[in-house]
Structure 1
Amino acid sequence: MKSSPNDQARLLELQAIDIRLQQLDHRAKTLPEIAALAGLSSDADALRRELASSNGALEDARRELGRIESDVAVVEARIKRDTERLQGSSSVKDVAGFESELAGLRRRQLDLEEIELGVMERVDGLEAAAAELTGRHDELAARIAAAAAEKDAVLEALTSERAHAAASRSSLAGTLPEDLLALYERQRARYGFGASLLRGGVSSASGVKLNENDMAAIRSADPDEVLLCPDSSAILVRTAESGL
């Protein structure tokens, strides 16, 4: 294949743009902002589970307190009823029975109130723990929102830069001979580099200095002959810096 030295040299510009596009794609996938956001999200998941467990324990304690309060109310109602019946009774036997029952009810009332006090203290402790976890969750949610906004801003800048580079690539590729561009694209897809600058006898794509036999073959080739680098298989672009 033959192509003008000028067109071959412009492949280096195309290669530079392709390298930049690869760098931008890699950076977009490996942004530290993405890793930071993932870490915060993981922390938030763990905190949500802890908060759900705390709220569950609080609800259980509140239900227990409600049952005890209901039991206390029942006992108080029975004490009030028996007290009224005692006051209205003239039967010695009935009075003795009411007094005995009232004594038992008052003991039951004291026991329930003691239990009620313990559960109320537990509810207070669980409410404080839930409030502390809720505060941490809200703070973490704010940090996640800020991290997401930062990530989006960086990605937006990268996307804009990539779009500009892609437009430049399309414009440049449109000015190159079709057969030369096709060869460049094929070699780049296969080997990673489509074009390589020969500078001082060293191929930029491989970083390897070509041996004398290869250099002799290159020197004998016409300037418009399209050559491939023997090490990288990229199109070997010759310039005044090539050391020929």
Structure 2
Amino acid sequence: MKAPASEQRKLLDLQAADNRVAQLQHALRSLPQEARLAELQRDSAAARKEWAGVNGELEDAKAEIARVEGDIETVAARAKRDEERLQVSSSSKDIQGLEHEIASLKVRRSNLEDIELAVMERMEEIEERLAAIVARRDDIATEERLLAAARDEQKERLANQLTAAVSERSAVAGGIQSDLLALYERQRDRYGVGAALLTRGVSLGSNMALTESDLAAIRSAPGDEVVFDPESNCILVRTEESGL
């Protein structure tokens, strides 16, 4: 294909515009906040699971306290009844039996109160663990909120830049003759790079120095002849920097 050297040089501007668009697209796909937000979501899920487990312990402890308090009330009521019967009883046998039962009830109540105290202490420890989990969960939520806001702000900024870059790319492409543009697009779609500068015998498409035979072939090609990088297959644009 033939195209004026001035037209071929426009391909360098088009490739730069495509590079800019690709960079912005990559930046949008790999926002730095996303990885940390994913970690925080996992941490948040783990905190919720831990809170549910510890809260279950607390509910069990509350149920145990309720049972123990119920037993204490039962023992107290029975002891009160025995005390009342003892006050009015005249039978030495009954008095002896009531005194024995009252003593047993006192021991039973003391044991129950020890259990109640132990459970209350356990409840206090559980509540402290719950409070720590809630505090950690709140910290996670705060960091998530701030990071999400920063991500959204950066995403909007990059999206606006991408819109502008795509518009600029279209403007550059619109100034290139159609057959040359079609060739550039085809090479870029196939090989990832559409055009590159040949500078001092090095192709910036492959970042490799061309062989003497390749350079000789390019030297012999007319200035309006479109030539290709033998390594990357992109269009090689020749300028005064090419070292030919």
Counterpart CA distance in 2 for 1:238 and 1:32 is: 39
1:106 counterpart = 2:106: yes
State which drifts further: 214-223 or 135-144: 214-223
Residue 218 of structure 1: CA displacement? 1.9
Counterpart CA distance in 2 for 1:82 and 1:171 is: 102
What secondary structure is seen at the aligned counterpart in 1 of 2:64? Answer: helix
Residue 93 of structure 1: CA displacement? 4.3
- The Cα offsets for residues 75-130 of structure 1, whole Å up to 9 and x where unpaired, read as 12222233333334445444444333322222211111111111111111111221
- Paired residue type of 1:131: A
Residue 234 of structure 1: CA displacement? 0.3
Counterpart CA distance in 2 for 1:135 and 1:153 is: 27
With normalisation by structure 1, the TM-score equals: 0.89
1:215 counterpart = 2:209: no
Instruction: Tell me how large the CA RMSD over aligned residues is.
Output: 2.1
What secondary structure is seen at the aligned counterpart in 2 of 1:167? Answer: helix
Instruction: Within 5 Å, give how 1:76-225 maps onto structure 2.
Output: 76-225=76-225
Counterpart CA distance in 1 for 2:76 and 2:59 is: 25
With normalisation by structure 2, the TM-score equals: 0.89
Counterpart CA distance in 1 for 2:33 and 2:188 is: 31
- The Cα offsets for residues 123-163 of structure 1, whole Å up to 9 and x where unpaired, read as 11111221122122212221221122222222222222111
Percent of residue pairs bearing the same amino acid type: 50
State which drifts further: 181-190 or 28-37: 28-37
Unaligned runs of 5+ residues in structure 1 are none
What secondary structure is seen at the aligned counterpart in 2 of 1:2? Answer: coil
Q: How many residues of Structure 1 are paired with residues of Structure 2 in the alignment?
A: 244
Residue 70 of structure 1: CA displacement? 1.3
Residue 15 of structure 1: CA displacement? 0.7
Residue 16 of structure 1: CA displacement? 0.8
Instruction: Within 5 Å, give how 1:31-110 maps onto structure 2.
Output: 31-110=31-110
State which drifts further: 57-66 or 213-222: 213-222
- Paired residue type of 2:62: R
